[in-house]
Amino acid sequence: MGKSNGKTDVQNVGIDLERELPPAEKNERAEASTDMSRQTSAGTIADGTSEITTELQKITAERDSLLDRLARVQAEFENARKRAAKEQQEYRDFATADAIKALLPVIDSFERALAIKSGSNDFRNGIDLIYKQLQDALGKLGVRVIPAKGEPFDPHYHEAIEMVETSDAPDHQVIEELQRGYKLKDRLLRPAMVKVAKNPGK
């Protein structure tokens, strides 16, 4: 009587133990299995999120670095463009200054001719007209006459040819202009040749 089909209860390993478990224990095992699956999935998602965050930070840093380099390159380009424009303007001013310097003796000759009172009025008027046209043309280029007579002596724009002792003018005032001075914008073309007052006893 202790045997059934030649097998003992212990030897009957083919019994489905899972089916023999109580329902409560079956539920606990199922929940445990589900929790493990959830934990595994959560761990996988967390790892993936961490990798994405790291990669995003790396890309953001590279983007910021490239934007910074671009800003520096743009600033360098703008500075180079401004330097080139300034150098071109200075070159044009330098060339213009040389050309105008060559014309200054012509202007001096016109002024000496106009200072002479003799001669016909028609001739004098013609000379005066040409002189004014020349002055207008130079003015359009930025040429300006340096103020001299009655101005305080300025060594930057005046060249003192003689110091004249006098009490009729303040000390170091220009009392006579011997030759006009000119400047091109802020560039000195030629200083004015002048006589300067020197008060007695000073």
| Neighbouring C-alpha atoms within 13 Å toward the C-beta of 184 | 19
DSSP 164-195: EE-SSS-TTBEEEEEE--EEETTEEEEPEEEE
Residue 22: what pLDDT? 58
In DSSP terms, which residues pair with 145 in a beta bridge? 182
Distance, CA of 85 to CA of 186 (rounded, Å): 18
| Integer angstrom CA distances of residue 19 from 2, 4, 9, 22, 25 | 24, 20, 16, 8, 11
Report pTM.
0.56
Mind listing the pLDDT tens digit for each residue in 33-60? 666 666 665 556 666 788 888 889 999 9
- What are the phi and psi torsion angles at 154 (to 5°)? -125, 110
Mind listing the pLDDT tens digit for each residue in 107-165? 998 888 888 876 677 788 888 899 999 999 999 989 999 999 999 999 999 999 999 99
- Domains of the chain with bracketed CATH: 145-202 (2.30.22.10)
| Integer angstrom CA distances of residue 175 from 78, 149, 179, 191 | 50, 5, 13, 15
pLDDT above 90 covers a percentage of the chain that reads 44
Which of 17-21, 25-29, 180-184 has the largest mean confidence? 180-184
Mind listing the pLDDT tens digit for each residue in 60-107? 999 999 999 999 999 999 999 999 988 888 888 888 888 899 889 999
